Amino acid sequence: MADDDGCIRGTSGASLVVNSSWKNPSGEWHIGCKLIYELFTNSLTDRIKKERKKRWDEKNQKAVAEAVKQLNVFDKKHAKVDDIKLRNEREDLQNRVDLLHKQADIYDDKGPVIDAVVWHDGEVWRAALDAQSLEDVSGCGKLEDFVPLTNYRTERKYGIFSKLDACAFVLNIYDGGNVLSIVTDCSPHGTHVAGITAAYHPKEPLLNGVAPGAQLISCKIGDSRLGSMETGTGLVRALIAAVEHKCDLINMSYGEATLLPDYGRFVDLVNEVVNKHRLIFISSAGNNGPALNTVGAPGGTTSSIIGVGAYVSREMAAGAHNLVEAPPEGLEYTWSSRGPTADGDLGVCISAAGGAMAPVPTWTLQRRMFMNGTSMASPCACGGVALLISAMKAEGLPVSPYNVREALENTSVPVGGSPEDKLSAGQGLMQVDKAYDYIQKLRDVPCVWYQIKINQSGKSSRYIRSFCLSQKFALSC
């Protein structure tokens, strides 16, 4: 409960002033605190530590100068220190100087602690943060000045801890106000990927993504505590969110090696999302080329996912990578992962541009950044498919993951002239306009989806099943 002055005692011990305009019919406040560095990426933490150390050094140097000045004044005033009281006074001044010098040597910034307050306003749970210790500027970051937030999906509002970090976050409140989830970036990767697909700058169209203004749902699957590696819980929650919001497309620019292709609980759920709920799932093939059998999971090893390899054009190789001798024609990046998979799939379905200058979060203190990877190729392809779906819906054409994939793979421009080049680039560089024309011509042709299984007997043999099919079909039941 707040006292007569409208203050409550935070978990950190600080006295927090509650804004009198906040509605809290029960008068109960749930309090907690968080070490801010646990919410930041390593790069952001390093930057904040440097800034705080710089400010601390300035204050400490002033304190050292003042202490030395006081010591010098004392020594000039007292040429001889015979009295025990004067000796103690001088010793105290000297100890102060020594301690301040020592503080500079043992300085260790564990990070500020921010207080959090949660309450129910009669309709929804809300929360506010006190970031005074982070801002380190008088009057800034106070609890009473914070604009209260509720679950992000309810109002779609976000906050920023301070001007120093410029880090945006959203809140989610669970368990009757007893659990407050503070969600931040675990890298600039997600913003960059989203920008490639759907960045929209009406006044600066050159900064637009492939499908400007496409509506996005951001699902965090990476965990900062694991170096931004995805978790099974995060992946499942993302799939559930995509189905609940009736998304058309999923892009996943994540992945790693796997022992068993097309296998596991997550793959089963992906198959259900694609085959039952008719979402189109696009994912990066991996960055572990040029060796064969290097495609990653799930993008390159899951049959229901469109795995995307990274392509670089001659112009991009010369302009973005400053090659003195650019290749005579476009080709797959050497590091783009290659197939086949252990169960005989190509591993790479199609290819798209594998590098982009795209937006990054404000805490990086940059507007844009150039990145390479199949992580960039996948959202590029996703943006192209978003355009394709938009046109199909406008024309009343049925949309399914089968006819879209069939059109993409049958209209892509081959990269390289040999059959084995398909292991690098899949069916080739995607062509959105040709894929749309393809779908229009076959609008009345039923889609057929089928699965090929080969039972081996006797001596072991290897096969690449995709080479046996000149055209892929799909069944829409």
Q: Which residue has the tokens 């601390």?
A: 56
Q: For residue 65, name the pLDDT band (cuts at 50, 70, 90).
A: very high
Q: Tell me the mean pLDDT in the region 256-276.
A: 93
What is the rounded average pLDDT for all residues in the chain? 90
pLDDT at 410: 95
Q: Is it the case that residue 216 has pLDDT exceeding 80?
A: yes
Both 160 and 199 in a single domain? no
Instruction: Report which residue type is found at 338.
Output: R
Instruction: Report which residue type is found at 414.
Output: P
Q: For residue 476, name the pLDDT band (cuts at 50, 70, 90).
A: very low
| Distance from the Cα of residue 131 to its chain's centroid | 24
Q: How many CB atoms neighbour CB 426 within 10 A?
A: 30
CA angle 313, 318, 324 (to 5 degrees): 135
Through-space distance between the first and last CA atoms of the chain, rounded to whole angstroms = 59
| pTM of this structure | 0.87
Both 173 and 201 in a single domain? no
Both 8 and 47 in a single domain? yes
81-135 pLDDT, tens digit each: 778 888 899 899 999 999 999 998 899 999 899 999 999 999 999 999 999 888 7
Asked if residue 114 belongs to a domain, the reply is yes
Asked if residue 179 belongs to a domain, the reply is yes
pLDDT at 471: 42
| Distance from the Cα of residue 463 to its chain's centroid | 37
pLDDT at 459: 57
pLDDT at 467: 52
What are the structure tokens assigned to 316, written together? Answer: 């991009």
Both 205 and 164 in a single domain? no
Both 455 and 385 in a single domain? yes
Using CA atoms, how far residue 373 sits from 45, 159, 311, 337, in Å, is: 25, 30, 9, 10
Alpha carbons 304 and 262: distance in angstroms, whole number: 9
Both 172 and 27 in a single domain? yes
Asked if residue 423 belongs to a domain, the reply is yes
Helix, strand or coil, per DSSP, at residue 369: strand
Q: Where are the beta strands (DSSP E) in 153-245?
A: 159-160, 168-174, 179-183, 222-223, 229-230
Asked if residue 238 belongs to a domain, the reply is yes
CA angle 283, 246, 273 (to 5 degrees): 50
7 DSSP β-pair partners: 17
- Find the length of the chain: 477
Q: Is it the case that residue 317 has pLDDT exceeding 60?
A: yes
Q: Is it the case that residue 240 has pLDDT exceeding 50?
A: yes
Alpha carbons 251 and 308: distance in angstroms, whole number: 10
Q: Tell me the mean pLDDT in the region 449-465.
A: 62
What are phi and psi for residue 143, nearest 5 degrees? -55, -45
Asked if residue 475 belongs to a domain, the reply is no
Q: For residue 357, name the pLDDT band (cuts at 50, 70, 90).
A: very high
Both 140 and 262 in a single domain? no
Both 111 and 222 in a single domain? no
Q: For residue 382, name the pLDDT band (cuts at 50, 70, 90).
A: very high
Q: For residue 475, name the pLDDT band (cuts at 50, 70, 90).
A: very low
pLDDT at 84: 85
Q: Is it the case that residue 31 has pLDDT exceeding 90?
A: yes
CA dihedral 88, 90, 91, 97 (to 10 degrees): 150
Segments forming the whole domain that contains residue 91 = 1-184
Domain count of the chain? 2
pLDDT at 267: 95
Last residue of some domain: 184, 216, 246?
Answer: 184
2-29 pLDDT, tens digit each: 776 778 999 999 899 999 999 999 999 9
pLDDT at 430: 97
Both 171 and 221 in a single domain? no
Q: Which residues contact 21 (CB under 8 A, 6 or more apart)?
A: none
Q: Which residue has the tokens 């890298």?
A: 187
Last residue of some domain: 166, 184, 202?
Answer: 184
What are the structure tokens assigned to 103, written together? Answer: 């503080």
Both 56 and 176 in a single domain? yes
Alpha carbons 446 and 439: distance in angstroms, whole number: 11
Both 146 and 263 in a single domain? no
Alpha carbons 251 and 269: distance in angstroms, whole number: 15
281 DSSP β-pair partners: 250
Alpha carbons 201 and 186: distance in angstroms, whole number: 25
With a pLDDT cut of 70, the percent of the chain lying above it is 92
pLDDT at 85: 85
287-309 pLDDT, tens digit each: 999 999 999 999 999 999 999 99
Both 50 and 169 in a single domain? yes
Q: Is it the case that residue 274 has pLDDT exceeding 50?
A: yes
432-445 pLDDT, tens digit each: 999 999 999 988 77
Alpha carbons 35 and 234: distance in angstroms, whole number: 23
Q: For residue 466, name the pLDDT band (cuts at 50, 70, 90).
A: low
Name the more confident of 276 and 469. 276
Helix, strand or coil, per DSSP, at residue 281: strand
Burial 219-257 (b: 16+ CB within 10 A, else e): bbbbebeeebebeeebbeebbeebbeeebbbbbbbbbee
Using CA atoms, how far residue 253 sits from 17, 219, 284, 300, 332, in Å, is: 43, 12, 5, 11, 18
Last residue of some domain: 184, 215, 250?
Answer: 184
Alpha carbons 353 and 311: distance in angstroms, whole number: 5
pLDDT at 224: 79
Is residue 273 within 8 A of residue 250, CB to CB? The reply is yes
CA dihedral 227, 228, 234, 240 (to 10 degrees): -170
Asked if residue 473 belongs to a domain, the reply is no
Is residue 381 within 8 A of residue 308, CB to CB? The reply is yes
Region of 427 on the Ramachandran plot (φ > 0 left; ψ -120 to 50 alpha; else beta):
alpha
Q: Which residue has the tokens 């492939």?
A: 210
Asked if residue 476 belongs to a domain, the reply is no
What are the structure tokens assigned to 21, written together? Answer: 């305009």
Average the pLDDT over each of 120-129, 273-282, 315-324, 416-425 and give the range with the smallest value: 315-324
Asked if residue 306 belongs to a domain, the reply is yes
pLDDT at 298: 96
